[in-house]
Chain A
Amino acid sequence: GAGVSQTPSNKVTEKGKYVELRCDPISGHTALYWYRQSLGQGPEFLIYFQGTGAADDSGLPNDRFFAVRPEGSVSTLKIQRTERGDSAVYLCASSDGVAGGSYNEQFFGPGTRLTVL
């Protein structure tokens, strides 16, 4: 596709429910990243995929959060037993560079705004 797309754009759920957020990266990009942005702050790293595998999931806040990328393209971020503190904008990015290289430009999707009531 022309850019990174994310669905849904907005998600409202109740405390304790399960949610899935989807990311479609730029076609051919091997690296995919998830970030979370709370109001008035910069994004925070959650997880990074290289191909199908999670190369680094150290940013996931706890075991309620999980992400997959089974075919090395689309990724899904899954949140179990949602809490009000999970409310944020979840951003996805992709890149075609080698992670850790000096020209690894990340391109971002529009984000999914998650609100947990």
Chain B
Amino acid sequence: KQEVTQIPAALSVPEGENLVLNCSFTDSAIYNLQWFRQDPGKGLTSLLLIQSSQREQTSGRLNASLDKSSGRSTLYIAASQPGDSATYLCAVDSNYQLIWGAGTKLIIKP
């Protein structure tokens, strides 16, 4: 049974720092991995999708990597801004169901 874990559960850093969020999964047989952002009381915004054959994806200040063999993905955020404060969730597509981590709550201090 696929399980997804995100570490840390919460992170608070000063504005301007680069940071890394971690996601691990137990079954490497995945179709893709998605990173989402969730703001309080709001829906989910897709940030990046990495296909199973890819190693990384980039969008602006965000870079996500995928290592299927070790069951790990990282989300790198460069030059963090207060507007980046949100909960970040990773989800793996294991046969069309998305299996989710519990998220990392990120606070960027001005």
Interface residues of A (CB under 8 A from B): 31, 33, 35, 40-45, 48, 55-56, 59, 91, 93, 99-111
Number of interface residues of B (CB under 8 A): 26
Given contacts A102-B52, A104-B32, whether A43 and B100 have CB atoms under 8 Å apart is yes
In the complex the two chains form, what is the Cα distance from A106 to B89 in whole Å?
14
Chain B residues within an 8 Å CB radius of A31: 96
Chain B residues within an 8 Å CB radius of A111: 43
Q: Of A44, A103, A110, which contacts B43 at CB under 8 A?
A: A110
Chain A residues within an 8 Å CB radius of B96: 31, 33, 48, 55-56, 99-100, 104
> A-B contact count, CB below 8 Å?
66
In the complex the two chains form, what is the Cα distance from A110 to B44 in whole Å?
7
Given contacts A42-B89, A108-B43, whether A100 and B100 have CB atoms under 8 Å apart is no
Interface residues of B (CB under 8 A from A): 4, 31-32, 34, 36, 42-46, 49, 51-53, 89, 91, 93, 95-103
In the complex the two chains form, what is the Cα distance from A48 to B46 in whole Å?
19
